[in-house]
Structure 1
Amino acid sequence: MAPKKMAVDTSLSAFATEDTSPFPDRYDLAGERRILGALLKEDDPDPANPLFGRLQLYYERDAEFKRMQQSHEARAGADPLVGNLEARQIKSLPSLVAESQDVMSLHTLEALRLFMGKAVEPGKQGAPIAGGKRVAAALRSLWSLSSNDNPYADWALVETKSRIEEVRAYTRAEQAQLLQKLDEMKAKGLTYSVLQSREPAQMQLGFASPYGYMVALLIVEVDYFTRVLKSAQRRDLVSGRQGHALLQSVKHKCRSVFERVLYWQKYLMKDELVALSRVDFVAGADVMAQQRVQAVKTIFGDVPKAVFMGEDAPRHTKRRLNLSAAELRLLDAVPLTDEVTAGVDKNLLA
């Protein structure tokens, strides 16, 4: 007589599968969750239910998956071939530090003043002159605001980069013409060298944001341009009046950029606006959010659509968002141009 076959619980061999499953048999947790939805909601499922076996398997696999996730996180995602001791070092590795202090060498008083700025003399009236050091700190604040998904902080950083590039392009173009005149003189037999200071000023930087170095690079280029210009004046290739006008033009363009950055910082860092976020612009936002939007539009105007949508993004940003298609559609539907002055809290503009 043939031996009696044992009954097989078919529920344990029938389950949803998925190619991206972390299990060797391609067990699909999400698929099973959908199938077992009703049973999962029950406090005391009936063992007689045909899907009861699959429910038990689901709980086992779910617990196993959570252990996988915990192990992955503990090992910081290291390859399985890497030992646990080595894998854990990724979480204890210190951040990078500079071996030595960053230093900017400046040869001209014009560039040095541009970096240092000028405070109002005590007891006298007037307005301070913004310097690169203060502007670098302001840009760091705006850079930090970008982590809050603040579209106006993004706009400030995009605009500043663009304006600095314009000043650098203008300076390089004027410098190239001066160098060409000097090279023509050299070709005719008059040897020269670009003027430099016997003891350049050594300015320690230590900026905490890449935007500080963007400002420093601009000032270094202005410093070299000034040396070339004074070299051309010394050789009678540029008149004193021409040289003065050209240098004033470059300094004016730099200070215009600097003042604009401080203007951005002055208002965006106000307590009433510091919490501004793209979410504030979405329909249904609360009253405080609507007031922030109205106020910031009154001060700066409408943020460009490309900046608001993240298509025109800052060169460096702390914004870390991976928006879904639905979220992008929601932002795209936001009307950025409207009548913004009604109902604005005037204290925000003080």
Structure 2
Amino acid sequence: MNSQQAIPQEKENTATGVKQAADGPGALRGQAWLTVQTRQAQQLIRGRNSSTDKPAIIGLVGFADRLRVIWQAARDDDPYADWWLIKVHQALDQARGFIGSHQEELDKQLAQMPALEVEVAQSQRPYRIRLQFANPYAYQGAQLIAAYDTLVRTVMTCRHIGLLDNEDTEGIVKLGARKVRGTFVVPQGYRLLGIDRNRLLRGSGRDPRACQLMGELPEEVLSGERRAPLVPRKVAFPMAVARSLALEPLSYPDRENHDG
């Protein structure tokens, strides 16, 4: 075999003069899956359609679908979308705190049982679903369901061995589900109205219709000073940032922006 034929053809980068292989790395692709082991957690994935006698329940799918709209609007510099990302972040934090505190307490009780080792119950046939979301908060919603699923399994185990009675078991399971559902309903309050931050800053700072539908926008959100920890890269800089760029270079060593 000709050794010259075994070497990939190389081309020269005209901008840098650096030679590189003709076949460079392709686009990054990955997969994410959510696995749950309880019926209660599975119900929170799809939610429930409304009927004549029951209201709709927003599940993870509806949460992610509405977040996709908000994420793109935030990319287009809609300050109301930024505000809703803050609301979503806060709701996720609160729900995680509730589930985490109950999980920690039950884990402690299980660990303190003398001469008895208990394994938390597991399903013999877990439910697994592939996740394809456009923003990180949707994946955090999936993580919230996973945490709730673990809590439900732990609660059921504690009831089985006598650490919890039926009333306490039902109370924790129902309240945990309510916290998750309350988080998933937050994005539904957002309305896509094509609001532009610069237009608001050049005018009175408020849009009457947006205020009527979504409330008064906090000044620190409108100015861009307050943002959620995870935000898309903007198509256009907020006016305050654009002005500061003319004065001094900006450095964000601790900020992590995510594209969705």
TM-score, length basis structure 1: 0.60
Q: Deviations over 1:57-113 (max 9, x none)?
A: xxxxxxxxxxxxxxxxxx69x5x3414xx4998xx8643112xx4211100111100
Deviations 1:137-189 (A, max 9, x none): 1111100111211001011011101110111011111111111111111xx11
Unaligned runs of at least 5 residues, structure 1: 1-74, 329-350
In 1, Cα distance between the equivalents of 2:47 and 2:101?
Answer: 25
- C-alpha spacing 1:284/1:211, structure 2 compared with 1 (3 Å): closer
Relative to its length, the structure with more strand (as a share) is: 2
- Deviating above 4 A after TM superposition, structure 1's stretches of 4 or more consecutive aligned residues are none
Which amino acid in structure 2 is aligned with residue 245 of structure 1? G
Structural mapping, 1:228-307, within 5 Å:
228-264=154-190, 267-268=191-192, 273=193, 275-284=194-203, 293-307=207-221
**Is 1:208 equivalent to 2:122 in the alignment?**
no
Distance 1:296 1:108 in 2: 40
* Greater RCO (Cα-Cα under 8 Å, separation 6 or more): 2
Residue 327 of structure 1 and its aligned partner are, at CA, apart by 9.3
The structure with the largest helix share of the pair is 1
The alpha-carbon deviation at position 284 of structure 1 amounts to 4.5
Q: TM-score, normalised by structure 2?
A: 0.80
Instruction: Flag structure 2 segments of 5+ consecutive residues without an equivalent.
Output: 1-12, 248-260
Q: Output aligned runs, 1:8-157, within 5 Å.
A: 80-83=16-19, 86=20, 94-98=26-30, 101-121=31-51, 124-157=52-85
**Which letter maps to 1:309?**
S
- C-alpha contact (below 8 Å) 1:107/1:197 kept by paired residues: yes
**How many corresponding residue pairs?**
230
Q: Which moved more, 1:314-323 or 1:293-302?
A: 314-323
- Quote the Cα distance in structure 1 between the aligned partners of 2:117 and 2:112: 10
2:244 is aligned with 1:318: no
CA drift of 1:309 comes to 2.1
Secondary structure (helix, strand or coil) at the match of 2:90 reads helix
Residues in 1 aligned to 2:112 and 2:75: alpha-carbon distance in whole angstroms: 51
Give the letter for the 2:91 counterpart. Answer: R
How far apart are 1:210 and its partner, in Å? 1.7
> Does structure 2 retain, via aligned residues, the 8 Å contact 1:233–1:243?
yes
